[in-house]
A and B are shown apart, each in its own frame.
Chain A
């Protein structure tokens, strides 16, 4: 059986400049601390980051942004991280904002092999600029295109040795969707348990999607 459990140093070896990286989590709740730390330490540059928000300056994706490693950010909300707004207006960071429901559906599409999603959200607003409008059953929708990544960084409360993930509370958020939409999926695990220990109905991300597991330092 393949051993998926690696340490922080081994994770750094998969990191490269110019990567597109998805970060699970919502205001840092459900974002892997150990993997964020590793990315900061690796010093890789020109990251395109996909995350619901910009986290906080000192927690979540915000740490990597503060470190100047991110070139472009796809997010739905950046208001709770003032530094990001400042970097954006100074031209140090490119930000593309999507409605939250659209952002998650774009990721879901990529992971589900679909060519896009038709949503009424954003019609008649700036969000529709440059996008295709399609009429279905008499109603107008915006075509929103899939969003994929080279790497997805997710976090589980419990991960078994095989890579099955169980989330806790609202820390689930974007994590299971992102686990379907990247070439490489690495899960930070609060606890790593023996295979067979997790309730089969509770597993929200099947092990086949997870390439590596790194223990969170808590």
Chain B
């Protein structure tokens, strides 16, 4: 299911895009980048040109991703400090950021950094990424074990207000518009009714609703 979501997210990327992928499911997107395009992955701890896991020979303890996991850097890649990294992020130089969510609502609000009293991981770079990136894509499972995550209004503390552009789940593709959430693609394994039942927010069905491209 995660692979399916990651595959669909990869289709949203364009040749030359600077992209930041969050920890977890979004990281998988890197495995499905179409071969005919070149994208550049940023890691907010200070690099562009994020490559795959290192082999034993390639391992360097001074080259890691934002999760602290060892990585490699591709040809043409480079390093910089955290102030510059976030200048890129807040300054609007990142084309697409892909991250997970605890909740998203029909006004494009996102909650993904805290569950008060339960889980306080901190926002890390998420607030800056969501605020500064040109396009914000939420890649997640449609519900939390049946509990809707796509809501009329987020109940958890927000990461940012009105910044989400698109939600991609195993059930389909949704765009956040001024009118609300529009379902533009649906996974043929589900009916529109299934998607509605798993979504608390009002769902507008696009006139040209398509089969989810995977």
Residues of A within 8 A of B (CB): 26-30, 52-53, 56, 75-80, 85, 88-89, 95, 97, 99-102, 104-105, 108, 119-127, 157, 167-177, 204
Contact = CB atoms under 8 A, between A and B. Distances in A.
Given A29-B61, A177-B82, A77 B127 contact: no
B66 interface: yes
A30 B124 CA distance: 17
B127 A168 contact: no
25 contacts: A26-B46, A27-B68, A75-B122, A76-B123, A77-B124, A97-B123, A99-B127, A100-B82, A101-B86, A102-B128, A104-B81, A104-B83, A120-B90, A125-B157, A157-B62, A168-B62, A169-B47, A169-B62, A169-B64, A170-B43, A170-B79, A174-B81, A174-B82, A175-B81, A177-B83
Contacts of B123: 76-77, 97, 99-100, 127
A121 B45 contact: no
Contacts of A26: 45-46, 64, 66, 68, 82
Chain B binding surface, main DSSP class: loop
Contact of B157 (A56, A119, A126, A174): A126
B131 interface: yes
Contact of B62 (A27, A102, A170): A170
B125 A177 contact: no
Interface stretch (B2-10, B30-38, B158-166): B158-166
B66 A121 contact: no
A104 B82 contact: yes
B195 interface: no
Interface of B: 43-47, 60-68, 73, 79-83, 85-86, 89-90, 119-128, 131-132, 157-161
B131 A120 contact: yes
Contact of A123 (B47, B68, B157, B161): B161
A126 B66 CA distance: 24
Contact of A105 (B66, B86, B158): B86
B65 to A, nearest CB: 8
5 cross-chain pairs, A with B, having the tightest CB-CB distances, nearest first: A79-B121, A27-B68, A101-B86, A101-B128, A124-B161
Contacts of A108: 83
Contacts of A102: 127-128
A187 to B, nearest CB: 15
Contact of B67 (A27, A30, A76, A173): A27
B128 A171 contact: no
B68 A121 contact: no
A27 B64 contact: yes
Contacts of A169: 47, 60, 62-64, 73, 79
Contacts of B66: 26-27
A171 B62 contact: yes
Q: Among A29, A100, A124, A157, which residue has the most Cβ atoms of chain B within 10 A?
A: A100
Contacts of B126: 99
B132 A121 contact: yes
Nearest to A120: B131
A102 B128 CA distance: 8
Q: Among A27, A101, A119, which residue has the most Cβ atoms of chain B within 10 A?
A: A101
A124 B111 CA distance: 12
Contacts of A125: 127, 157-161
A88 B46 CA distance: 28
A77 B67 CA distance: 11
A113 to B, nearest CB: 15
A102 B160 CA distance: 14
Contacts of B85: 101
B128 A99 contact: yes
Contact of B158 (A53, A79, A104, A124): A124
